[in-house]
Structure 1
């Protein structure tokens, strides 16, 4: 999206596509978006690098990959 705004392509924003863009304004907006992106990456670095177990992502997935203790419960849950 930053690249589109930098090229004055506002297809995601129909109301903006009717406006005339000033180069100074566009460069400010792109810089602001870059700063926001960097800030989000810094603030949520722990979330972005979090390793989520496959059981959480897909609880009804491959039963063979789970612990033996949980296999019976998963089979029961997935058949109900």
Structure 2
């Protein structure tokens, strides 16, 4: 998006797409976007580097690599037909 703004293309912003901006203004916008991007990277570094175990994404997949206690829970989970149907709606909703 910042590349588009740097070129003066504001198609992502319908209200701005009909206006013309001066080069200095566009440069300021790009600097603000770069600062915002850096700030988000810093603030959410822990989330961006988070390693999600495969069994979270697919609890019905291979469970051999997981902790024994988790294996038992996942084995029990795999026999619950109601939860299997719920999982088909996506793992994000499944774990809530």
Question: Aligning the two structures, in what range does the TM-score lie when normalised by the shorter sequence?
Answer: 0.7 to 0.9
Partner of 1:12, secondary structure, is: coil
The 1:78–1:44 alpha-carbon spacing in structure 2 relative to 1, beyond 3 Å, is same
Distance 1:43 1:31 in 2: 18
- Cα deviation for residue 39 of structure 1 reads 0.9
Q: 1:48: Cα distance to partner?
A: 1.1
Unaligned runs of 5+ residues in structure 1 are none
CA RMSD across the alignment: 2.0
Q: Per the alignment, do residues 11 and 77 of structure 1 end up closer, same or farther by CA in structure 2, a change over 3 Å counting?
A: same
Structure 2: segments with no counterpart, 5+ residues: 81-96
Q: Does 1:77 align with 2:96?
A: no
| 2:29 maps to 1:29 | yes
How far has the Cα of 1:44 moved from its partner?
1.3
Residue 55 of structure 2 corresponds to residue 55 of structure 1: yes
Please report the TM-score for the alignment, with normalisation by the length of structure 1.
Answer: 0.76
Residue 12 of structure 1: aligned partner: 12
Aligned length: 80
Instruction: Identify the residue that residue 38 of structure 1 maps to in structure 2.
Output: 38
**TM-score, structure 2 normalization:** 0.66
The structure with higher relative contact order (CA 8 Å, sep 6+) is: 1
